[in-house]
Structure formats: C-alpha cells, structure tokens
Amino acid sequence: MVRYKRGDRDAFAELVRRYQRPLFNFSLRYVGAVDLAADLTQETFLRVVKRSADFKHESRFSTWLFAITRNLCIDELRRRKLRPVQNSELQEERIAPAEANATRSASPLDAERNTASSELRTCILRAIDCLPEEQKEVFLLRQLGGIPFVEIARIVDAPENTVKSRMRYALERMQQELSDFEEYARALR
C-alpha cells in the first residue's frame, strides 16, 4: 500500500492479486450471490483507490480492506432489505466443475472419498449457517481473511475478548455439528 500511495501502479495490481479471492469469498458467504460478491469485491478496490489517503497504517492493510468489504456487504443487504444468505442457498455451480473433474477418473475408493468430501463440505456450510450472525462474522473474518483477533475487534467494534469468545463459541458449535465426521476423519489417518 505504501508503494501504491507513492504512485507505483504495479503495487495496486499486487494488492488485487493478493486479496481479490479472500475478499470475494468473504463477500460471497456474506451476501450469497456470486455476481453481487464480485461487484462488492470490485467496489472494495475502487474504494481503496479513492480513499488510499485515508489508510494511516494504524492497523494492518488487510484489516482496513476487510472492514471496507464488510461495510459494503452490510450496506448492500440493508439497501436490498435482504437477510444474510445461508451458505446452503449459495449458487452451486462454483463447486460442481471441480467435483466433476475429480470423479471422472476416480477409482471406487477415490469416488467414496469424493462423496464423503462433498458431504463434509455441505455439512460445514450448514454448520456455518447455524452460527449466530456475530459468531459467523468473526469466524469468516478469521478463517477466510486470516485477520488477527485484535484487528477483528476493530472491524466489528467489540472488545478483543468478546471476539475471541465469539470464535470459541463458533468453533464449539461447529464441532458439535460436524461430530458425525469425526470417525471418518480418524479412518483417513
């Protein structure tokens, strides 16, 4: 970001390359529509261009970036008067091609693993859906954004210990939801 603020256009391309996918995935989980998530990701980078002078290095760049994305997602949901989308409602075409390629040349054991993997993915998405919004938001920022707890606290305007508690509760809930796969995971070792 420092290089970009000095006029290095290649630095901006590097920022886009580095953060586009995590921001898109975060937006997708938040709003649930591929096209809308792509638009919000693009709008995030437009805001970076317009507001680059606002970044003061008081927190990590990624924190500032995810805060912009989060606020855009919230604003868009309010504007459209939508509720946050459940992961199970997401458009499935983004998962299907990879699974199709994996199962075409698969042995029976590989096919079984692919089926179990698909079931696990569905259960993970369902488990994320079951999280209360405050826990879900912290979980997504931490897992998809790799944002440290202290920075998530700034983004969601909550004390760091509260953020850590939300994450702990989210993980406990997810562990309960995914307990059926524990035996399968042990068999894979």
What φ, ψ does residue 84 adopt, rounded to 5°? -55, 140
Instruction: Look up residue 32 and give its two tokens.
Output: 């649930």
What do you get for the CA distance between the two ends of the chain, in Å? 42
Q: 1 by DSSP, 3-state: which? A: coil
**Least confident span in 13-17, 48-52, 93-97, 127-131:** 93-97
Q: What is the pLDDT of residue 91?
A: 45
Q: Is the pLDDT of residue 107 over 80?
A: no
Q: What is the pLDDT of residue 21?
A: 94
Domain 1-85 is found in CATH 1.10.1740.10: yes
Please list the residue range(s) of the chain that carry CATH number 1.10.1740.10. Answer: 1-85
Specify the residue for token string 């079951």: 130
Q: What is the pLDDT of residue 153?
A: 94
Architecture, CATH, for domain 92-189: Orthogonal Bundle (1.10)
Q: Is the pLDDT of residue 112 over 80?
A: no
Instruction: Look up residue 153 and give its two tokens.
Output: 């606290």
Asked if 86 contacts 133 with a C-beta cutoff of 8 angstroms, the reply is no
Percent of the chain with pLDDT over 90: 37
- Tens digit of each residue's pLDDT (9 = 90 or more) over 78-88: 887 755 555 54
| Alpha helices, H only, 6-159 | 9-31, 34-50, 61-80, 96-104, 108-130, 133-145, 149-156
Neighbours of 144 (CB within 10 A): 19
Query: What CA–CA distance (Å, rounded) separates 70 from 138?
Result: 11
Q: What is the pLDDT of residue 100?
A: 42
Q: Is the pLDDT of residue 96 over 70?
A: no
Among 81, 12, 19, which Cα is nearest to 49's?
A: 12
Please list the residue range(s) of the chain that carry CATH number 1.10.10.10. Answer: 92-189
**Least confident span in 56-65, 107-116, 166-175:** 107-116
- Tens digit of each residue's pLDDT (9 = 90 or more) over 118-157: 777 788 888 887 888 899 999 999 998 889 999 999 999 9
- Tens digit of each residue's pLDDT (9 = 90 or more) over 33-72: 899 999 999 999 999 988 887 887 777 888 889 999 999 9
Q: Is the CA virtual torsion 48, 58, 26, 36 positive or negative?
A: negative
